């Protein structure tokens, strides 16, 4: 029997060309999960857990409600580093569970938890404890927080780290609802991808409910000294108490973003939309945990110039959380659509000139990435081949920016009106379902290309999806605001003093453009002149600081190094770390990279450590 909502690891079904039947009985192989959800699938989780800041463990019971095929003899969950103390079925029947072997060379896969069941088994109860070095969890001491009163814990489950804190069928193609009861130290607040509290509970117990089915990579938990501030009818911000006002001020456009997103692509399906601003070691810019985006504090720039990140995570409420990539090979469906949608929200709120700057920066970054991978590398295909590899390797500008530019190409062929109707229909008719690249192509052919055949006569969609590099028909975007920046760059290159340049009113993006346009052979004297005029070294805006430090390292402008050291020891966002360490490694400054990393590593999250161990070497 084939279950309607699950992938299969052993499909011999022929590929059908009918998109509807495909999404109903979706056939796909998820190479990054050991579960077999077509045999028996967990459809609901009841989670009881205690968060222990002394042992750095979460322990408790995961009770899974099952839906099984008639011949099911076992249910399999993904685990990694979990200590399983007991498994029972339907309450108190002790089950003889086994843990499968780890896969040599693929530690990210963890171990399969096999639980014997019969077809009539309704629930399995798994009592377990996470490991102190669980990859999804970052435990911070009170010293590592802003207010220094309580420790802090946050999770990062995407792509396949949920299995390090909950035994689950850890692939994006499996969805479940959940309830949770979580015990934390009194005085601390706990938040999950669910209905959340807005104040601290007296006894440290929090109860959560998520009624919409979500995949495991969207499971999240944050525990800390937190306060809430509303910024709109359905929107608000959580942060440490001394920071929450500043964060709410910075993110005051969230409600308008939500409303403009709904106007574009249909009703928001998740109830509230809140953001938690985490401590600076959060390894990503943002993470689209349903109902509660997790965000880095590096977007709190003081001038609202980095709020596109919130538009991005909000957009995932449709692309990703509602229509979900079937496997990590289809990651571009999540991120490409989201970058596209993010830009439409930014355009609706802040105008075309602003959105054009973001698009140009995306393009430039994409060109760099293709150069790095090599223009014929399979890693530049939209559809990825991550079998046997850590899915983290698929996180690059390809899925994001090549994906978004592909969608912009499609838009340009039919115009906005038809395109928006198509995208709207895509989200509506595929809500709470999974999408393979192939099912998307079928849907696209049926609903956009065939009805507008002539417009697509010269578009080879396979070249974009299954081919390398940036195809020639990639839309060319220009930015009038960047043209003005480039004029100032030309003046500077021609000998005008930095202090004489017309830079007033520039936003973060104009400054980034300016720094990126500096010549490869810029002299230390010119660097110093720029620094004096614009105070780049030690800049409070992390985007600008990061771009400047990369240039400084490449030009051996040592006057910035102390500030860069401080930056690398206080920020854990991988997007900022990688370019700086890479620049040091590539320019004969390995010793500097290694000495900074040796000090800073313990403050970074596992995913950043993992990438940097590969680049710099484990200290
Ligand atoms: N879902 C991603 C973050 C992610 C991707 C985590 C893959 C783990 C594996 C999130 O939506 C994202 O794209 N964040 C970006 C934000 C940006 C593109 C605006 C980031 O963190 O920089
Ligand atoms: Zn994203």
| Contacting residues for 248 by C-beta, under 8 A, at least 6 apart | 229, 230, 231, 236, 237
The preferred substitution site among 162, 193, 287 for testing ligand 1, maximizing ligand atoms within 8 Å of CB, is: 287
- What's the confidence (pLDDT) of residue 103? 98
Q: Looking at the CA of 365, which ligand is closest?
A: 1
| φ and ψ of 321, to 5 deg | -80, -30
Ligand 2 mean position, distance from CA 151 (Å): 28
- What's the confidence (pLDDT) of residue 29? 92
| φ and ψ of 386, to 5 deg | -105, 10
Q: 238: domain CATH number? A: 3.30.2010.30
Tokens of 74: 């076992």
Do 562 and 592 share a domain, yes or no? yes
Ligand 2 mean position, distance from CA 26 (Å): 24
Q: Is residue 11 part of a domain?
A: no
Residue 21 has pLDDT above 60, yes or no: no
- What's the confidence (pLDDT) of residue 382? 98
Do 415 and 489 share a domain, yes or no? no
Contact in structure between 164 and 201 (CB atoms under 8 Å): no
Euclidean distance between CA atoms 447 and 195, whole angstroms: 36
Q: Is residue 429 part of a domain?
A: yes
Q: Is residue 572 part of a domain?
A: yes
Ligand 1 mean position, distance from CA 288 (Å): 8
Q: 143: domain CATH number? A: 2.60.40.1730
Indicate which residue's Cα is closest to atom 22 of ligand 1.
Answer: 285
Euclidean distance between CA atoms 292 and 269, whole angstroms: 13
Q: 546: domain CATH number? A: 1.25.40.320
Do 596 and 567 share a domain, yes or no? yes
Q: Is residue 23 part of a domain?
A: no
Do 526 and 458 share a domain, yes or no? no
Q: Which residue has the tokens 């115009």?
A: 415
Q: Is the CB of 543 under 6 A from ligand 1?
A: no
For residue 302, give its domain range. Answer: 227-317
With H, G, I as helix, E, B as strand and everything else as coil, classify residue 515. helix
Q: Is residue 5 part of a domain?
A: no
Do 417 and 503 share a domain, yes or no? no
Q: Looking at the CA of 295, which ligand is closest?
A: 1
Do 312 and 341 share a domain, yes or no? no
Domain boundary residue, one of 285, 317, 349: 317
Q: Looking at the CA of 546, which ligand is closest?
A: 1
Q: Is residue 273 part of a domain?
A: yes
Ligand 1 mean position, distance from CA 454 (Å): 36
pLDDT in tens, 414-473: 999 999 999 999 999 999 999 999 999 999 999 999 999 999 999 999 999 999 999 999
Do 45 and 191 share a domain, yes or no? yes
Q: Is residue 254 part of a domain?
A: yes
- What's the confidence (pLDDT) of residue 5? 36
pTM of the model: 0.96
Domain boundary residue, one of 317, 347, 371: 317
Q: Is the CB of 172 under 6 A from ligand 1?
A: no
Q: How many domains does the chain have?
A: 4
3-state SS of 282-326 is CCCCEECCCCEEEECHHHCCCCCCCCHHHHHHHHCCCECCCEEEC
Q: Is residue 611 part of a domain?
A: yes
Ligand 1 mean position, distance from CA 149 (Å): 29
pLDDT in tens, 362-385: 999 999 999 999 999 999 999 999
Do 184 and 236 share a domain, yes or no? no
Tokens of 150: 């309580």
Q: Is the CB of 397 under 6 A from ligand 1?
A: no
| Contacting residues for 98 by C-beta, under 8 A, at least 6 apart | 113, 114
Angle (CA) 222-565-153 rounded to 5° is 10
Do 45 and 158 share a domain, yes or no? yes
Q: Is the CB of 345 under 6 A from ligand 1?
A: no
**Among candidates 281, 286, 296, which has minimal Cα distance to 570?**
281
Euclidean distance between CA atoms 344 and 350, whole angstroms: 10
- Indicate which atom in ligand 1 lies nearest the CA of residue 159: 9
State the number of CA atoms in the 13 A half-sphere of 298 facing the CB.
Answer: 27
Q: Is the CB of 287 under 6 A from ligand 1?
A: yes
Domain boundary residue, one of 317, 335, 370: 317
Q: 431: domain CATH number? A: 1.10.390.10
Do 366 and 431 share a domain, yes or no? yes
Q: At what angle do helices 480-493 and 508-516 cross, to 10 degrees?
A: 40
Q: Stretch 581-604: mean pLDDT, rounded?
A: 98
Mean pLDDT, the chain, integer:
95
pLDDT in tens, 281-304: 999 999 999 999 999 999 999 999
- Indicate which atom in ligand 1 lies nearest the CA of residue 284: 21
Catalytic residue ranges: 313, 400
pLDDT in tens, 489-547: 999 999 999 999 999 999 999 999 999 999 999 999 999 999 999 999 999 999 999 99
Do 146 and 58 share a domain, yes or no? yes
Do 117 and 193 share a domain, yes or no? yes
Q: Which residue has the tokens 């009106």?
A: 417
């Amino acid at each position: 029997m084939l279950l309607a909502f699950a992938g299969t690891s052993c499909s011999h079904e022929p590929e059908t060309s009918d998109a509807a039947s495909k999404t109903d009985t979706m056939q796909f192989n998820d190479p990054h999960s050991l579960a077999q959800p077509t045999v028996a699938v967990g459809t609901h989780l009841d989670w009881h857990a205690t968060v222990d800041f002394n042992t750095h463990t979460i322990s408790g019971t995961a009770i899974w409600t099952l839906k099984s095929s008639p011949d099911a003899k076992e249910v399999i969950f993904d685990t990694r580093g979990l200590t399983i103390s007991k498994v029972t079925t339907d309450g108190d029947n002790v089950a003889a569970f086994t843990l499968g072997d780890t896969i040599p060379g693929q530690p990210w896969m963890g171990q399969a938890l096999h639980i014997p069941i019969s077809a009539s088994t309704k629930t399995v109860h798994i009592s377990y404890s996470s490991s102190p070095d669980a990859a999804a969890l970052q435990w911070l001491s009170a010293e590592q927080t802003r207010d220094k009163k309580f420790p802090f814990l946050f999770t990062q489950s995407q792509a396949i780290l949920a299995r390090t804190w909950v035994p689950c069928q850890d692939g994006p193609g499996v969805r479940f609802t959940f309830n949770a009861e979580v015990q934390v130290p009194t005085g601390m607040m706990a938040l999950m991808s669910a209905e959340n509290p807005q104040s601290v509970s007296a006894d440290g117990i929090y109860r959560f409910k998520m009624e919409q089915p979500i995949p495991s990579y969207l499971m999240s938990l944050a525990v800390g000294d937190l306060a809430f501030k509303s910024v709109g009818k359905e929107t608000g911000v959580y942060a440490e108490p001394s920071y929450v006002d500043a964060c709410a001020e910075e993110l005051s456009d969230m409600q308008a973003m939500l409303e403009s997103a709904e106007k574009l692509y249909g009703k928001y399906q998740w109830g509230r939309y809140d953001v938690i601003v985490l401590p600076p070691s959060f390894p990503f810019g943002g993470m689209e945990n349903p109902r509660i985006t997790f965000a880095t504090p590096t977007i709190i720039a003081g001038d609202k110039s980095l709020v596109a990140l919130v538009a991005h995570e909000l957009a995932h409420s449709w692309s990703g959380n509602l229509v979900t990539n079937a496997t990590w090979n289809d990651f571009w469906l999540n991120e490409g659509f989201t970058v596209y949608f993010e830009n439409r929200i930014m355009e609706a709120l802040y105008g075309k000139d602003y959105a054009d700057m973001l698009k140009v920066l995306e393009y430039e970054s994409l060109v760099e990435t293709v150069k790095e991978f090599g223009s014929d590398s399979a890693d530049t295909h939209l559809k990825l081949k991550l079998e046997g590899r850590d899915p983290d390797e698929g996180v690059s500008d390809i899925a994001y920016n090549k994906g978004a530019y592909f969608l912009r190409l499609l838009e340009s062929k039919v115009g906005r009106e038809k395109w928006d109707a198509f995208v709207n229909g895509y989200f509506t008719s595929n809500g709470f379902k999974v999408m393979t690249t192939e099912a998307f192509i079928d849907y696209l052919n049926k609903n956009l290309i065939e009805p507008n055949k002539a417009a697509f006569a010269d578009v080879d969609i396979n070249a974009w999806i299954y081919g390398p590099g940036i195809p020639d028909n990639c839309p060319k975007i220009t930015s009038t605001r960047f043209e003005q920046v480039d004029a100032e760059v030309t003046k500077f290159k021609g000998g005008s003093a930095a202090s004489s340049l017309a830079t007033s009113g520039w936003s973060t993006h104009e400054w980034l453009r300016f720094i990126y346009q500096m010549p490869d052979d810029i002299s230390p004297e010119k660097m110093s002149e720029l620094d004096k005029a614009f105070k780049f070294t030690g800049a409070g805006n992390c985007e600008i600081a990061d771009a400047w430090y990369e240039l400084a390292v490449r030009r051996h402008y040592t006057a910035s190094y102390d500030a860069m050291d401080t930056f690398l020891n206080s920020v854990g966002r991988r997007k900022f770390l990688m370019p700086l360490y890479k620049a040091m490694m590539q320019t004969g400054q390995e010793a500097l990279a290694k000495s900074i990393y040796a000090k800073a590593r313990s403050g970074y999250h596992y995913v950043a450590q993992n990438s940097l161990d590969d680049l710099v070497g484990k200290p």
